[in-house]
Amino acid sequence: MSDYTPKPEHKFTFGLWTVGNPGADPFGSAVRNRLSPVEIVHVLAEVGAYGVNLHDNDLVPIDATPAERDRIVADFKRALADTGLVVPMATTNLFSDPVFKDGAFTSNDPKVRAYALSKTMRAIDLGVELGARIYVFWGGREGIETDAARNPLEGLKRMREALNFLCEYSMDQGYDLKFALEAKPNEPRGDIYLPTTGHMLAFIATLDHPQMVGVNPELAHEHMAGLNFMHGVAQAWDAGKLFHIDLNDQNFCRYDQDFRFGSHNWKQAFFLVKFLEDVGYAGPRHFDSHAYRTEDAEGVKDFARGSMRSYLILKEKAARFNADPEIQALLAEINADDGSMAAFQGAYSREKAAALKAYPFDRPALGARGLKYERLDQLTFDLLLGAR
Ligand code: GLT
Ligand code: MN
Ligand code: MN
């Protein structure tokens, strides 16, 4: 029997808003007691998490006085010290308060945009004070219900200006901080700007300090858009931009379900974990999800423990896949190369192009070859379900 005990080196983290979620939804009120940030830290320590992430207002209420803020932060730091938990990531709540109903950085009201910058700088200071090295931007309200409201070019321009400003602020303070942009196609806005990780990657290239900015892809958000999450993660990795990741689960094309990681799409979760482990992703594995509304306080612990356990089980399955002689023999056969095309590979040359155009390919034979992906997929299924 394998050991699926979470350890600090696994870098499993949860947001205060995830285990602290009291189960309210648009159709019903809270079903669980609200836990204080200190209580949440102790729950996370009990289940074996490595770290806790937060929005500014998960910890400090939006209307707290400076003295209240200092007391809350001191209590929280004590809980961190008592438990050994760390804060790898922090972010700003730019979506709950009515002031942000038409966006924060992209709002049509210059006073709201200025307030959003001011709030974010103070939230960055708080995150850095708690030790965060990654700062997430999820622009939940940065969008529209009607395109009559704003030209999307204006939205992009305002987003760019805000991020450029905040990059400069962070550097000016001497902070060792990287920004990670999180995409979502819709909800709570009818449409949110920069709706997928791919859109974010293209946008980052237009910033003044692109080296400081990467992405925080979330599984549920890409599934809402009907996409293959692992492919988006791979593209972020390829671009050197996978700064953080939000793990959860979600059926395709639905509302933001934020289910426990591994609870729905086992196969996608498996290939995601295999990808992260194969490439050696070393950042936090952040579970941005919450317990079913049916659960009480014990059920929340089941949810948190289950998230980490599922990751570790899939990690073990990935190692088995990589060591499975039959699977690896099949992959070697599928990828076989007799060397006859070596002269055509690599960089372009005029001679190579001419030789390639003249080469007599046996198209029918190439097209007739069976690729054995049916067997490969069945072996994967058998391995995942414990039948091999
Ligand atoms: C919110 C959202 C998440 C984001 C969080 C960061 S808050 O719960 O649904 O996906 O990661 O702002
Ligand atoms: Mn989500
Ligand atoms: Mn998220």
Q: Give the tens place of pLDDT for each residue, 206-233.
A: 999 999 999 999 999 999 999 999 999 9
CA atoms of 310 and 384, how far apart (whole Å): 12
Q: What is the pLDDT of residue 2?
A: 86
Looking at the chain, which residues constitute the CATH 3.20.20.150 domain(s)? 8-323
Cβ neighbours of residue 164 closer than 8 Å, sequence gap 6 or more? 207, 208, 209
3-state secondary structure of 298: helix
Cβ distance 321 to 383 under 8 Å? Answer: yes
Cβ distance 203 to 169 under 8 Å? Answer: no
C-alpha 287 to ligand 2 mean position (Å): 10
C-alpha 138 to ligand 1 mean position (Å): 6
Considering only CA atoms, which of 372, 374, 371, 385 is closest in space to residue 321? 385
Grade residue 168 by pLDDT with cuts at 50, 70 and 90: very high
Q: What is the pLDDT of residue 93?
A: 98
CA atoms of 297 and 299, how far apart (whole Å): 5
Choice from 124, 138, 219, 257 to test ligand 1 binding pocket (greatest atom count within 8 A of CB)? 138
Grade residue 342 by pLDDT with cuts at 50, 70 and 90: very high
Query: Is CATH 3.20.20.150 the classification given to domain 8-323?
Result: yes
Specify the length of the chain in residues. Answer: 388
Burial (0-12, 13-18, 19+ Cβ within 10 Å), 127? buried
Quick: pLDDT tens for 6-38: 999 999 999 999 999 999 999 999 999 999 999
Q: What is the pLDDT of residue 42?
A: 98
pLDDT over 70 for what percent of the chain?
A: 100
Cβ distance 163 to 213 under 8 Å? Answer: yes
Quick: pLDDT tens for 71-96: 999 999 999 999 999 999 999 999 99
CA atoms of 241 and 211, how far apart (whole Å): 9
Grade residue 63 by pLDDT with cuts at 50, 70 and 90: very high
3-state secondary structure of 13: strand
Q: Which residue has the tokens 């102790």?
A: 42
Residue 311, CA atoms < 13 Å, CB-side half-sphere: 26
User: In angstroms, what CA-CA distances link 331 with 98, 175, 315, 323, 324?
Assistant: 54, 46, 20, 12, 11
Mean pLDDT of the chain: 98
Cβ distance 177 to 90 under 8 Å? Answer: no
C-alpha 70 to ligand 1 mean position (Å): 25
Choice from 97, 184, 288, 289 to test ligand 1 binding pocket (greatest atom count within 8 A of CB)? 288
User: Is residue 136 pLDDT above 90, yes or no?
Assistant: yes
Q: What is the pLDDT of residue 255?
A: 94
The pTM (predicted TM-score) of the whole model is 0.97
Quick: pLDDT tens for 325-338: 999 999 999 999 99
